[in-house]
C-alpha cells in the first residue's frame, strides 16, 4: 500500500529534489516511486545528475548535523541533570535553555514534548542511581517533580527563543 497518492508525490518531488523536504516526505516519495512507475519516471526525468548529487549532499549534511546536535542535546541534558545536587546547579539556567534551542532545531515542533520527556527520564534516572548508591535525600517524589518542572521550564525558554528566531529569520526572507 502506498502512503501517498500520485498527486501528493508529484507535489513533493521538487521539494525532495531541492533537498528541502522533511525526512518523512523524502521517505514517502521514495516509498512511492519504488512502487509507482509513472512517478518514478517523473522523478528521474526531472532530476539532472548534478542536482541529484547536490540534493543528496544537502540531505546527508542535514542528517549529519541532526545526529551531532542530538548527541550534544543528550550530553547537555545529562550534564545539566548531574549538576542537580551540586554548587553548579544554577548553570542549568543556561544549560537547559540551550538544550531547548538544540531540541527545537532537531525536532521542530515536537521539541515541546520531547524535551520535557528526555529531561524527565534523566532526572528520574539520576535520582534512582543516587538512591541505589545509598545517598541520602534522593527518591523524594516532590523533589523529583520540582526539578523536572524547573528544568522543563528553562528548556521551554530555549524553545521559545528558537521559535522566535526561526520566525524572525523567515520573515526576513519573505
Contact between 36 and Zn ion (CB under 5 A)?
Answer: yes
Cβ(122)–Cβ(81) below 8 Å: yes
Contact between 4 and Zn ion (CB under 5 A)?
Answer: no
> In this chain, which of 29, 39, 106, 144 binds Zn ion, going by CB under 5 A?
39
Contact between 83 and Zn ion (CB under 5 A)?
Answer: no
> In this chain, which of 4, 6, 59, 156 binds Zn ion, going by CB under 5 A?
6
Please say which residue, 12 or 112, places its beta carbon nearer to Zn ion.
12
User: Between residue 53 and residue 82, which ones bind Zn ion under the rule CB under 5 A?
Assistant: none
Cβ(124)–Cβ(144) below 8 Å: yes
Contact between 157 and Zn ion (CB under 5 A)?
Answer: no
Amino acid at each position: 500500500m502506498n502512503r501517498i497518492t500520485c498527486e501528493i508525490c508529484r507535489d513533493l518531488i521538487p521539494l525532495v529534489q531541492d533537498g528541502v523536504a522533511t525526512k518523512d516526505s523524502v521517505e514517502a516519495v521514495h516509498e512511492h516511486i519504488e512502487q509507482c512507475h509513472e512517478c518514478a519516471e517523473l522523478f528521474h526525468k526531472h532530476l539532472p545528475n548534478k542536482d541529484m548529487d547536490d540534493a543528496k549532499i544537502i540531505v546527508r549534511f542535514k542528517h549529519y548535523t541532526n545526529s551531532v546536535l542530538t548527541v550534544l542535546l543528550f550530553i547537555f541534558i545529562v550534564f545539566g541533570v548531574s549538576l542537580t545536587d551540586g554548587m553548579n546547579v544554577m548553570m542549568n539556567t543556561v544549560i537547559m535553555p540551550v538544550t531547548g534551542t538544540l531540541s527545537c532545531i532537531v525536532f521542530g515542533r515536537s521539541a515541546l514534548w520531547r524535551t520535557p520527556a528526555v529531561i524527565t527520564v534523566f532526572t528520574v534516572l539520576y535520582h534512582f542511581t543516587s538512591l541505589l548508591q545509598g545517598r541520602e535525600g534522593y527518591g523524594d517524589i516532590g523533589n523529583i517533580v520540582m526539578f523536572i518542572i524547573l528544568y522543563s521550564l528553562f528548556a521551554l525558554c530555549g524553545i521559545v527563543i528558537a521559535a522566535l528566531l526561526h520566525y524572525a529569520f523567515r520573515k526576513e526572507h519573505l
